[in-house]
Amino acid sequence: MLLLDENISFRVVKAIEDVFPKSISVNEISGRIPLDDAFIWKYARDNQYTIVSYDEDFNELSLQKGYPPKIIWIRSPNLSNLQMINLLKHKSDIIKKFIDDSESGCLELYFESVS
């Protein structure tokens, strides 16, 4: 299950539910009130989510506290909703292996444009 950070549109969740069922947006748990990273981290850990974020702070938390939760760090800035959907769907096999891998706490993903 993926927990998409506040900086990723809630619309992405609906578009990836066929590949990542039971995924949610932070906005669903916050009611669109900004939440601090520590709360999001604890929520993800307690509810067995993998956090998807542009935010480097989650990687820093992972280095300090270990995992779970695991972090998928999106390293391509300002993706459109469609680009984010495509990234997550096209990398779904890698993401699922990462989630099941007990040795890794952070996966860095980059959007590769197709010309």
Tens of pLDDT, residue by residue over 23-52, are 999 988 877 677 889 899 999 999 999 999
- DSSP state at residue 92: H
Average the pLDDT over 54-71 and give the result: 90
B/e letters for 77-107, b = 16+ CB within 10 Å, e = fewer, are: eebeeeebbbbbeebeeebeebbeeeeebbb
- CB proximity list for 7: less than 8 A, separation 6 or greater: 53, 54, 55
**Predicted TM-score of the model (pTM):** 0.92
- DSSP state at residue 70: P
pLDDT at 114 > cutoff 60 = no
